[in-house]
Structure 1
């Protein structure tokens, strides 16, 4: 079995932001030489998440709006905000999840037509964020 790791580093520019990392994931799968297996996409941050969805501006804005509705970023009720004013981002990451596993079939990421891979920033802007991509298979 082959195992390939790639770490993608980037910055974010707003408090809530979706960054399309599909190309980075597909490039890692191609470089891995894995024909059939899985790719694991992991955000090693407690205030970010990974999702698959359509890259359409209206939908991206809808997702951000819904995340704000769900996590109430300006709520004074979150106890964690007494320490670090980002409880909403921790809650969002806990609900959504910081990783996704996608099959690799015939050397390609097996995603649907309208499925792109997004890093979701909920505690930005941040000068340094990363995503760990691990490809495993044969």
Structure 2
């Protein structure tokens, strides 16, 4: 690992219900410690087959709307061939094709260059796994 690359793993407990978890403060704290005011890229990665990352507004209902849209698009019923776990769990394995498990974000002057209302969020519809990891990697 060079001085231009740093990585850190967050341990996140999501509970046993569908959820959107805002990771923006965790990303900013990581960059304050390791970016040193440099420009670069922050890669956020979820090493799970049933979770994803989204950049969206939170707190005004968009996170709830996203979960509702995913329920409409990927119903938790018996249509899925992947059948272990809770009923409809197969949809959780399709989620990362729609909500990808990664995001690469610009860092300017050591800070995330997000839009005014944008947040970095973990999207987890898997009610069978409450423990998640998120890898933050800064290249700058």
Q: Following superposition, which runs of at least 4 residues in structure 1 exceed 3 angstroms of deviation?
A: none
1:79 equivalent in alignment to 2:81: yes
Aligned-pair CA distance for 1:55: 1.0
Which residue of structure 2 lines up, in the alignment, with residue 123 of structure 1? 126
RMSD, matched Cα: 1.5
* Residues 11, 125 of structure 1: 8 Å contact kept: no
Q: 2:71 aligns with which of 65, 68, 84?
A: 68
Q: 2:14 aligns with which of 12, 15, 21?
A: 12
- In the aligned structure 2, how far is the partner of 1:59 from the partner of 1:33? 30
TM-score, scaled relative to structure 1: 0.91
Structure with greater helix share of residues: 1
* Residues 54, 115 of structure 1: 8 Å contact kept: yes
> Unmatched 5+ residue regions in structure 2?
none
TM-score, scaled relative to structure 2: 0.90
1:100 equivalent in alignment to 2:103: yes
Aligned-pair CA distance for 1:32: 1.0
* Residues 16, 130 of structure 2: 8 Å contact kept: no
Which residue of structure 1 lines up, in the alignment, with residue 59 of structure 2? 56
Aligned-pair CA distance for 1:14: 3.3
Write out aligned runs for 1:106-117 (5 A).
Answer: 106-117=109-120
Number of matched pairs: 135
